[in-house]
Structures are given as structure tokens and as C-alpha cells.
């Protein structure tokens, strides 16, 4: 394993950040800060080295960073295949455009809402998710994303779950406990935890961090495999995206093909020099 060139890594991740769409706060989309994305991408690439990796949602674009850093030879390790499943068509198309432009043959994305049954077409070795953190529902929203990740690996393999981690607040502890209990019921155990790693562009809680919670399937857990089903239980949907924010949208559709490297015309106006008026 070669030493990572930090400058090359940061510049590569900056390319990805320029490409990703803006977050929609009403769906609890909050972007991880760039420096932490560099660190997280290396962690994910090493953890999933040579494996088939499913991202259950990926507004941060960590999936793209992982594939791009490997393609740019910043990292000499990484997953053999990455597929992003996201209900935001802007995210899906941004992944596809970047993968096509940079010829990232191991990266793809599909439009998918985690409330629908998981498309059982292939088996992955591991899953990654950074879901809505469940501050208002005890982590039920997190568990829906974890459920889809577990289905993606056919109740075998490993998962990395990114959720809030704060010693001063009560709700992150409740969520962590509930998510660990849910994973245990599904035949997974907590194999390790990296605490308070990531910071976010979060105006109302700038100091709130998240952790990496790693889960692994117990031996023989594949016997639990069962068909995936849609999520319809009102208790699971209550406060899904925050207080009084139940799911009301199936997909976020991309209205037009934006160029994420340029400011949209709605953001600025030009005031001409006198001679050019």
C-alpha cells in the first residue's frame, strides 16, 4: 500500500464536489465537509478493497470519490464494482456523467427509493449508507436504509453505516442503540466503530459529527434470506426526514442537465461597462 499524496487526493475530491448536486435539506441531505470526504474515501476504499459495494443513497458522492481516487492512482486499492442506489435523479445522473467522462468502468448508479422493495438482481459483498439520522424517530429511518443494505448483500458480508455521534446529545445515543439492535436482529454484529470522524455543512448544528459503524454477518446468516418488500408501516415512516416530515415524494427528478462546475444563471446578473451597454 503506497502513501497517499494528500494534495492529489484533495484535488481529486474537489473535482467530485464540483460535480455533485446541491443538498435538499427537506430530505435530510447534508454534505460532508471536503477534508473528511478525503479521509472517508480512503477508509471505504481500503475496507471494500476488491469487493462489490452497494451504496444505499449517496448525496455526499463518496462513491464517486472512491472510484475516482483509484482511477487517478491516488489509491492503489478499492472496490471492484460500485453501484449507487438513490431516489434523487440528480445524484444518479451526476454519478453517471462523471463515470462516463472519467471512464470509471466500475462505477454505476440506479434510480431507487429505499421504501420500495430492493431490486434483487445481483449480490454485493458489502454496503455503505449515510441515511437520514433519525433524530425524531429513534433511528427508524436509518434502519430502513440498513435493511436495504442487508438485502443487497443477501444477509451476508459487511456494512458501513454513517450516523450521528455526539456525547452531549441524547438522541444520537438512542439511535445508535436502536440501529445496533436492529442489525443484531438481522443476524449482524458490530465489528468495530470509528467515533466522531466527520463534520458537515449543517447551519443549525455545526459541531455535530458522525461515526462509522461497521457491521458483519454472523456465520450461516444467509439462511435468513427472504424476498424484499416495500416499507408501508406508518411507524417506520413517521418523522422519516425529521419532525413531521413523512415521505411524500417517490423520486426527485432532474428538470434539466445542469453543469455543476458552473454557477446557474439564476444566481447572478451581469452589470455591463458603460461602453458595452
Q: What is the CATH number of the domain that holds 160?
A: 3.40.50.150
Instruction: Tell me the pTM.
Output: 0.92
Q: Which of 7-11, 35-39, 161-165, 235-239 has the lowest mean pLDDT?
A: 235-239
154: in domain: yes
Model confidence over 93-105: pLDDT tens digits? 999 999 999 999 9
What share of the chain in percent tops pLDDT 90?
73
Quick one: pLDDT at residue 277? Answer: 65
Across the range 66-93, mean pLDDT stands at: 97
Task: Quote the number of domains for the chain.
Answer: 1
* Mean pLDDT, the chain, whole residue set: 92
40: in domain: yes
191: in domain: yes
19: in domain: yes
How far is Cα of residue 259 from the mean position of the Cα atoms in its chain? 22
Would you say residue 226 has pLDDT above 90?
no
90: in domain: yes
Position with higher pLDDT, 6 vs 66? 66
Model confidence over 185-197: pLDDT tens digits? 999 999 999 999 9
Q: Which of 187-191, 201-205, 236-240 has the lowest mean pLDDT?
A: 201-205
Quick one: pLDDT at residue 75? Answer: 96
Would you say residue 147 has pLDDT above 80?
yes
1: in domain: no
21: in domain: yes
200: in domain: yes
Across the range 159-183, mean pLDDT stands at: 96
Would you say residue 110 has pLDDT above 90?
yes
Sheet holding 81-86, edge to edge: 107-111, 81-86, 52-56, 126-129, 158-165, 209-217, 188-198
Quick one: pLDDT at residue 260? Answer: 61
Quick one: pLDDT at residue 258? Answer: 60
CB-side neighbour CA atoms (13 Å) of 256:
4
Burial class of residue 254, CB neighbours in 10 A (0-12, 13-18, 19+): middle
Which residues constitute the domain of residue 50? 6-276
Among 136, 137, 95, which residue's Cα sits nearest to residue 112? 95
Quick one: pLDDT at residue 276? Answer: 67
Amino acid at each position: 500500500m503506497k502513501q497517499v499524496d494528500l494534495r492529489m487526493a484533495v484535488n481529486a475530491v474537489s473535482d467530485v464536489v464540483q460535480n455533485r448536486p446541491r443538498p435538499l435539506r427537506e430530505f435530510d441531505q447534508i454534505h460532508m465537509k471536503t477534508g473528511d470526504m478525503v479521509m472517508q474515501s480512503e477508509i471505504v476504499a481500503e475496507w471494500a478493497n476488491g469487493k462489490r459495494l452497494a451504496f444505499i443513497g449517496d448525496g455526499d458522492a463518496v462513491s464517486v470519490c472512491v472510484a475516482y481516487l483509484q482511477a487517478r492512482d491516488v489509491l492503489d486499492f478499492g472496490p471492484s464494482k460500485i453501484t449507487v442506489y438513490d431516489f434523487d435523479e440528480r445524484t444518479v445522473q451526476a454519478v453517471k456523467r462523471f463515470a462516463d467522462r472519467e471512464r470509471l468502468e466500475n462505477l454505476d448508479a440506479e434510480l431507487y427509493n429505499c421504501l420500495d422493495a430492493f431490486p434483487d438482481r445481483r449480490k454485493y459483498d458489502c454496503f455503505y449508507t449515510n441515511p437520514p439520522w433519525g433524530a425524531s424517530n429513534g433511528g427508524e429511518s436509518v434502519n430502513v436504509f440498513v435493511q436495504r443494505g442487508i438485502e443487497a448483500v443477501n444477509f451476508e458480508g459487511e456494512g458501513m453505516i454513517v450516523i450521528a455521534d455526539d456525547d452531549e446529545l441524547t438522541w444520537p445515543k438512542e439511535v445508535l442503540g436502536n440501529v445496533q439492535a436492529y442489525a443484531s436482529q438481522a443476524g449482524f454484529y458490530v465489528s468495530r466503530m470509528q467515533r466522531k470522524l466527520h463534520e458537515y455543512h449543517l447551519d443549525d448544528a455545526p459541531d455535530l459529527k458522525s461515526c462509522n459503524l461497521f457491521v458483519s454477518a454472523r456465520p450461516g446468516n444467509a439462511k435468513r434470506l427472504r424476498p424484499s418488500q416495500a416499507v408501508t408501516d406508518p411507524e417506520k415512516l413517521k418523522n422519516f426526514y425529521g419532525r413531521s416530515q413523512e415521505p411524500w415524494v417517490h423520486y426527485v427528478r432532474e428538470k434539466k442537465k445542469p453543469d455543476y462546475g458552473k454557477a446557474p444563471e439564476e444566481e447572478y446578473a451581469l452589470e455591463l461597462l458603460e461602453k458595452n451597454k
